[in-house]
A and B are shown apart, each in its own frame.
Chain A
Amino acid sequence: MIRRIIALAKKEFIHLRNDWWLPVFMLVGGVMELMLVGWATSRPITNLPLMVLDHDKSAASRSIVIALENTGTFRLAEQVEDMQTIEDALARGQINAAVIIPPDFAEQMNSPTGQPVLAVILNGAESIPATAALRAIEGVTRDVGEQIVIRRLGLDPDQFSGFTPRLRVWFNEALSEALYTTPAELGLMLEFTTLLFAALAFSRERELGTLEQLLVMPFSSMEIIIGKSIPVIIVSFVDFLLMLGMVHVAFDVPVRGSMALLLVLAFGYLLVELSKGLVMSVVSRTQHQAFLLVMLFGMADFMFTGYAAPVEGMPQFLQYFANLVPAHHWLTIFRGILLKGAGLDVLWPHVLALALLGLVIGTFSLRFVRKALD
């Protein structure tokens, strides 16, 4: 039995070596994507091009433009003289924001009852820069507004203390996006790698026509499943370790919790995805079909991981549904161990959920695949 399993696993490895581009693509492609995501998100958004139409041309109007520039969020792209230029630039996507200062800006600022207004146009087609721009503009106007109030009330600015929150961000002190995105990306990468390699296990042989030959050989269905799974497990796990090392070195993603716990749970999660992948593999007639199934289910899972949009913001029933997605629990566990240093005492509900889902999916998969192979 062991001999037959080893023979099959060996054969699978030879296929992987001959089709070397696939594992290499998964590995190199995965690392590259992580790098890109990491770099793109490791810095806060800065230097968004800003256009200014200043009808006032006063000291007050100039100082507000300087204040906007000083946030670092903006880079003054151009001072323009007419609205048309702004509209064109926005339409072409050359700028993310434009500020229009009305002619009476300084007057309203200085009058004791004045109501200074600043018109702002944001490019909402790119929502993430737009949100960053909005935040920066709100910050500047709040400061200026405060100064006006203090002045009008005749208070001493040094003595005035407004309402300010004392902010401390836990687990990710610098609020670095990379600490959020790279683990999420990496966690998903483990899912996709495992699913894909598992999905090819049988669909490949079915497409090439060799599956029948395998089935008439004296392999039991269990031997076939184990023999086919070993290479998938090894390749996916090694891939995971390499990517984990990479984000640790390149983006200072910490492993604050127990490494042993992380590896055990990653392995467990890998087995859950393997079970799913094998089912996709036996229902597919071709490798293409298997690949599309992986994409379909992978992308659906992706929506429930909280990576693209927070699960907490979804409709209630989708939130319940998210609990049935193994990747959802896995990413919570993964980030918890990496960033929060959480242990089983905190993560147990997710570990339990993952274990139960794994049990159900694994049992179903084993029965389904064995039946398909008999």
Chain B
Amino acid sequence: MTTRPTNPMPAIVAHDLTKRFGDFTAVDGINFEVRRGEIFGFLGPNGSGKTTTIRMMLGLLAPTTGSVEVLGMTVDGDTAKIRPRVGYMSQRFSLYNDLTVLQNLRFYGAAYGLNNAELEIRIREALDMAGLEGRENARTKDLSGGWRQRLALSAAILHRPETIFLDEPTAGVDPISRRAFWDLLYKLVAEGVTVFVTTHYMDEAEHCHRLAFIQRGRIIAYGSPAEIKERMMRGQVLELAPSNAAKAVKTLRAAQQAGRIPLEEIELYGSLVHVVAPQVKKHQRAIRAELQKAGIHAGQMSLIEPSLEDVFIACMKH
């Protein structure tokens, strides 16, 4: 990812942001900064505090302690000044399913105070962006996930917000539609919009300019994907293509536990296996021998660049 020129004033700043529900701490004193005009990814497994954080940033939920600033304004009881300047979209709940495409867009436009002439132009643009020309009068619930999601994004930016919050925008959408969606996000960022996006898809993390990885309410990794990989990865990743990947993982884990091979991680990646260790190449021979004993052909082995998924699996375990 190339570094981008940034506006000196950040779009979002969280200071020791904390939210407790009774005894449960959903968000535990997190700090982060989102620069203007970047795609900031907020990653984490389900239930890690992503949605709670986004709700606090939108003023839907008051923080227990700490604060959050959006576009230089502190989010508290009075969010009237902030709301017209931000957009919000969640994949499942942004649109009224019983309304048509056009009715949804009209409602959004009117809610944000666009006059009729403006609204008609913006609606044309939105339909063009979502690729929904000619389907203006289709019921939203009849659209497939990908269309609905692009429509939701078009609606969320109808009023030209400076910052948009996307809560799991691509959950449950097919890979091709996800790809098309991210292309739209890049276009928006090119126009200067700041994008804050939560996701639990690891592959999407690579597309972000910077990101925070949240687990059990705490940020455990923060920075650009390259920085995170460098800082967090304990060792190198060796990719194996054994004849029986699942059995290979079991065999290697047994060897690791018995202390025969000092490996940090052994993970299944489809039909491949990733093993992680400092100077992992040294163990190549031992691995091959161990698999041979179990009747598995080790196959091709190559040192690869760690993916963020490798990094996060490593982070989550330590």
Interface residues, chain A, CB within 8 Å of chain B? 3-4, 6-8, 10-11, 14-15, 18-19, 208-210, 212-213, 215-220, 374
A11 to B, closest residue via Cβ: B107
How many angstroms between the C-alpha atoms of A157 and B86 in the bound complex? 96
* B259 contacts partner chain A, Cβ-Cβ < 8 Å: no
Residues of B within 8 A of A219 (CB): 111
Interface residues, chain B, CB within 8 Å of chain A? 55, 58-60, 77, 80, 83-84, 86, 88, 90, 92-99, 103, 106-108, 110-113
Inter-chain contact A216/B110, CB cutoff 8 Å: no
Residues of B within 8 A of A374 (CB): 77
How many angstroms between the C-alpha atoms of A213 and B97 in the bound complex? 13
Take A3-B113, A213-B88 as given contacts and tell me if A14 and B98 are in contact as well, using a CB distance cutoff of 8 Å: yes
How many angstroms between the C-alpha atoms of A15 and B100 in the bound complex? 11
Inter-chain contact A213/B112, CB cutoff 8 Å: no
Inter-chain contact B113/A11, CB cutoff 8 Å: no
How many angstroms between the C-alpha atoms of A11 and B110 in the bound complex? 11
Inter-chain contact A15/B113, CB cutoff 8 Å: no
14 additional A-B residue pairs with CB within 8 Å, beyond A11-B103, A14-B99: A3-B110, A4-B113, A6-B110, A8-B111, A11-B107, A14-B103, A15-B99, A208-B93, A208-B97, A212-B55, A212-B93, A216-B83, A217-B108, A218-B113
Majority SS at the chain A contact face: helix
How many angstroms between the C-alpha atoms of A218 and B114 in the bound complex? 12
Q: Most chain-A Cβ atoms within 10 A of its Cβ — which of B77, B111, B112? A: B111
A1 to B, closest residue via Cβ: B113
Inter-chain contact A213/B93, CB cutoff 8 Å: yes
Inter-chain contact B107/A7, CB cutoff 8 Å: yes
How many angstroms between the C-alpha atoms of A72 and B86 in the bound complex? 77
How many angstroms between the C-alpha atoms of A18 and B104 in the bound complex? 14
Inter-chain contact A218/B93, CB cutoff 8 Å: no
Residues of B within 8 A of A212 (CB): 55, 58, 60, 88, 90, 93
How many angstroms between the C-alpha atoms of A8 and B110 in the bound complex? 9
CB<8 Å pairs between A and B, sample of 15: A6-B110, A7-B110, A8-B111, A11-B96, A11-B99, A11-B107, A18-B98, A209-B93, A212-B60, A212-B88, A213-B93, A216-B59, A218-B80, A218-B83, A219-B111
B103 to A, closest residue via Cβ: A14
